[in-house]
Structures are given as structure tokens and as C-alpha cells.
Amino acid sequence: MEFCDECGSMMKADDGLWECGSCGYTEPKGDADQYVITDDQEVGEIIESSGETSLPETDAICPECGNDRAHWYMQQIRSADESETRFFICTECEHKWREDDN
């Protein structure tokens, strides 16, 4: 499902294009490698991360290195009637682990 960049309405598929029924805006349909690259973009351009994250931090013991701080987030990975899974990422070694409700 796609949403219009211009007005936010739901777009519908029409012959290789996504078309907005409200304002008429269209864009190519398909994988990202099928999109047209403009002159100001470089093919294969790599954007490097600064290493900083916007994830919240909490007290959690890393099972890998024993550090006591970790970033965390929650994600629904099972059926909707089950609780979310908490994921932790160590602030020192970047080991990732999860905590499930049993």
C-alpha cells in the first residue's frame, strides 16, 4: 500500500504506476532499483552513520560483555493478540538480545 506524497491519500496501482485518486499524483511502482536516479544523485552512494542512536537507554546487563546500559525498542513479531518483544542493544559491544514475556 502506498500513500500520496502530495495529499496523503491512499494510492491505487495503475499500469506500473501508483496513482492518487484524489489529486492525480503518480509515481513508479516496484522495487527501489526501478526508480529513476536524478543527476544530483550518485549510484551506490553510501550514507555513513554517526554511531549515535535515537533509541532510549535503560539499565540492562549485556549477556555478552556484562555492560549495564543498553538501548531498547519494542517490536510486534508474533500474532497481534500476544505482547510485543523487547529488544536490547548493548551500548558498549552492540550485542543485540531480546526479552519475551512468557
Question: Mind listing the pLDDT tens digit for each residue in 29-84?
Answer: 765 444 454 555 555 555 455 556 688 999 999 999 999 999 999 888 878 888 88
Rounded distance between C-alpha atoms, residue 4 and residue 20, angstroms: 6
Is 91 inside a domain boundary?
yes
Annotated binding residues, written as ranges, equal 4, 7, 20, 23, 62, 65, 90, 93
The count of domains in the chain is 2
Q: Output the known binding site for Zn(2+).
A: 4, 7, 20, 23, 62, 65, 90, 93
Q: What cell does 37 get?
A: 536516479
Domain extent, residue 63, equals 57-99
pTM of the model: 0.47
Q: CA 98, CA 58: separation in Å to the nearest integer? A: 14
User: What pLDDT, on a 0 to 100 scale, did the predictor assign at position 72?
Assistant: 92
- Residue 79 domain-assigned (yes or no): yes
73 in any annotated domain: yes
Pair (28, 62) in one structural domain: no
Whether residue 71 is contained in a domain is answered as yes
